[in-house]
Structure 1
Amino acid sequence: MSLASAARAALPPLLVFLAFLGLWQLACSVLALPAYLVPTPAEVAREAAAHLDQLAEAALLTALGALGGLGASLVVGGLVAVLFSQSQVAARSLYPYAIFLQTVPIVAVAPLIVVWFGTGLQSVILTAAILSVFPIITNGTTGLVRVDPQLLELFAMSDASRLQLLLKLRLPGSLPYFVAGAKISGGLAVIGAIVGEFFAGFGADDLGLGALILQTSGRLQTAYLFAAIFAATLLGLLLFGAVALLGELALRRWRGRELAVH
């Protein structure tokens, strides 16, 4: 994507965001909303600038938790998807428990994680992984089992083993599905990391964005709270963009190989 096309793609959402800020500022002025209830965008910007170092450090800690959770979900979810694609018995027996990971309220499980594993980064990563693993399992399984029957016949005519079928046909063909699942899981990993920090935290001197949100809300530092929320949103967007970019690079190579084969 060229710089000009990237700018054209970014312009519409940027204009919407600027319009949102204008309406927000107008509402605060017309309704005379108190700053402790709804601060103006200018007040949020001042607080963000005043606490830029703290926000950056908190975002880095949350990013470590989110990346760790996303990495764990990719490994575990990928292995489970391979298992489900190779064994219908395993899929029928274990898939309901995979759904359980998606449906159980993470705020109900997070306190148990703290009891079992203590506070700190390991509990934050585990919480993020639990919340983000389901899209990897479902998308990966779909991609692994949705194979062109003609290609299956071709591999069967070549007396390909089950392992060869998995490594040379199912896994390469499922790449777009895994990429789609990873995009969804990227945003969920950030949410999971922040929820994990609500309970697990990092310590009195090391605050992630989740702990910072709790702290500022408890002290009615609303402008600072808004700044932390915007930092968390920006972190989610950056992680989604990074996953999307890496996925697009991988898909380009995959499409190139597909064209070479055909």
Structure 2
Amino acid sequence: MSSSPVDALQAHVPHDGTDAEARPVFATEARILGLPASVWPRILAPLVIGVLALGLWEFLVRWREIPPYILPGPLLVGQTLIADWATLSASLWITLRITFLALAAAIIVGVTLAVLFTQSKWLEMSLLPYAVILQVTPIVAIAPLIIIWAGDINLSLLICAWIVAFFPILSNTILGLNSADHNLVNLFQLYGATRWQTMRYLKLPAALPYFLAGLKISGGLALIGAVVAEFVAGTGGSASGLAYRILEAGYQLKIPRVFAALIMISLSGIAIFLATSWISHVLLRRWHESALKREN
């Protein structure tokens, strides 16, 4: 008598305490200092290149006897970074505060507008072109006007950084919301789901990878927008962020301090990118194909 497919499957499933040898054994990857062995080449390769580049830079500066007010060596820049840490770190915190506030505002406004645009095509056709205009307009050109109109230096810096950061989140989230499987959308409609139920349970989860991709871009753009706005405001001595310290050091020919401030900005941008990448990995690693491929 033939058995059903369910019985056949149950016959091959080992029970607790029985057929232990039949259970599959999966090879585990070796770990070094808590990290998988395959991760270390990705860490060591750029570090080696960076060390070699810094060594070559220091060698050329000493060999050609380049004055520090033209091009300081890495060792002098590091010494300046340590010596001026109190001043530069305080200015960095001001710049990062503007950056994170602008990024938070970009997330709120960008996601809200994306949801509204996908709910109303007329609203999207009416307002999206103005968002594109803000994106393509050079922030350097409109920053002086924003500073004059806002009346408050911190608010004007926040607006400038927000203008630069919000469009990638808006455009990526719109793309994600419109990329939901149409067959599933029809299934939701067949079962009588409302538009907001479809949005909550189908379109928003489908748009999450797109939103996180836009977040990675906007994180760096918010920092760039804050620094550019501080450069414009700093010409009048009104700002005290890290960009103003760069201008101040440049006027005084303290070029090692300029390089130290640039290193702090670069490291901050890298930290923001790594943080947003980690958030994306945590939210997508259990279900999205892009994160699952990295897991294997």
CA offsets 1:207-239 (integer angstroms, 9 cap, x no match): 211111111111111000000000001111111
The answer to whether the 8 Å contact 2:177/2:206 transfers is: yes
CA offsets 1:42-98 (integer angstroms, 9 cap, x no match): 111111111011121111111100000000000111111112212222222222211
Q: Letter of the 1:195 partner, please give it.
A: V
Equivalent residue number for residue 35 of structure 2: 3
Deviation at 1:206, TM superposition (A): 7.2
**Distance (whole Å) between structure 2 residues aligned to residue 253 and residue 114 of structure 1:** 45
Compare 54-63 and 227-236 and name the one that shifted more: 54-63
Does residue 1:113 correspond to 2:146, yes or no? yes
Considering only CA atoms, is the larger Rg found in Structure 1 or Structure 2?
A: 2
More helix by share: 1
TM-score by length of 1: 0.90
Identical positions, percent: 39
| Cα 1:119/1:19, change in 2 over 3 Å | farther
Equivalent residue number for residue 185 of structure 1: 218
Does residue 1:171 correspond to 2:204, yes or no? yes
The answer to whether the 8 Å contact 2:96/2:223 transfers is: yes
Equivalent residue number for residue 89 of structure 1: 122
Q: Letter of the 2:203 partner, please give it.
A: R
The answer to whether the 8 Å contact 1:48/1:227 transfers is: yes
Q: Letter of the 1:3 partner, please give it.
A: L
Equivalent residue number for residue 64 of structure 2: 31
**Distance (whole Å) between structure 2 residues aligned to residue 111 and residue 253 of structure 1:** 46
The answer to whether the 8 Å contact 1:119/1:200 transfers is: no
| Cα 1:112/1:206, change in 2 over 3 Å | closer
Equivalent residue number for residue 176 of structure 2: 143
Deviation at 1:179, TM superposition (A): 0.3
Compare 237-246 and 29-38 and name the one that shifted more: 29-38
The answer to whether the 8 Å contact 1:123/1:200 transfers is: no
Give unpaired runs (5+ residues) of structure 2: 1-30
Q: Return the match for 1:122 from 131, 155, 162.
A: 155
Equivalent residue number for residue 262 of structure 2: 229
The answer to whether the 8 Å contact 1:110/1:196 transfers is: yes
**Distance (whole Å) between structure 2 residues aligned to residue 72 and residue 225 of structure 1:** 30
The answer to whether the 8 Å contact 2:230/2:239 transfers is: no
Equivalent residue number for residue 113 of structure 2: 80
Q: Return the match for 1:16 from 49, 66, 69.
A: 49
Instruction: Kindly report the root-mean-square deviation, in angstroms, between the aligned alpha carbons of the 2 structures.
Output: 2.2
Q: Letter of the 1:122 partner, please give it.
A: L
Q: Letter of the 1:82 partner, please give it.
A: V
**Distance (whole Å) between structure 1 residues aligned to residue 67 and residue 197 of structure 2:** 66
Structure with the bigger RCO (C-alpha within 8 Å, sep 6+) is 1
Q: Letter of the 1:59 partner, please give it.
A: L
* Secondary structure of residue in 1 paired with 2:69: coil
**Distance (whole Å) between structure 1 residues aligned to residue 50 and residue 120 of structure 2:** 48
Q: Return the match for 1:61 from 94, 101, 113.
A: 94
Deviation at 1:120, TM superposition (A): 3.1
Give unpaired runs (5+ residues) of structure 1: none
Q: Letter of the 2:35 partner, please give it.
A: L
**Distance (whole Å) between structure 1 residues aligned to residue 148 and residue 133 of structure 2:** 20
